[in-house]
Amino acid sequence: MKKIRKINKIKHKQIRKDAEEQMAKQAALMMKHPTECCVCQAPFVRTQETVKTWRIVVREERVRLACSECWATVEKQVENLDAT
């Protein structure tokens, strides 16, 4: 019979491994981000300002990119949906 400490160690190691794999998948998807805003189709030009202000969302296998103006609109719509 295995000791509880050893079982917990094995369990935590597997949880950490699964989390690292999930992170690697999402990072790979982020590198395949679109080149324009998904709402207004404004082109994404990689500068220090755009990298800090634009938002990228990864859900399952879908990657969305939104400029700061469109992101504010999306947040307002979500708040309105949550309020109702």
- How confident is the model at residue 2, as a pLDDT? 61
Residue 6, by phi and psi: left (phi above 0), alpha (psi -120 to 50) or beta? alpha
- How confident is the model at residue 65, as a pLDDT? 86
- Cβ atoms within 10 Å of 68's Cβ, excluding its own: 13
Q: What is the pLDDT of residues 13-54, one digit of tens each?
A: 999 999 999 888 877 876 777 788 888 988 888 888 888 888
Question: Which residues constitute the domain of residue 37?
Answer: 4-83
- How confident is the model at residue 58, as a pLDDT? 77
Q: What percent of the chain has pLDDT over 70?
A: 95
Task: Give pTM, 2 decimals.
Answer: 0.54
Considering its fold, how many domains does the chain have in total?
1
CA distance 48 to 76: 26
Q: What is the mean pLDDT of the chain?
A: 83
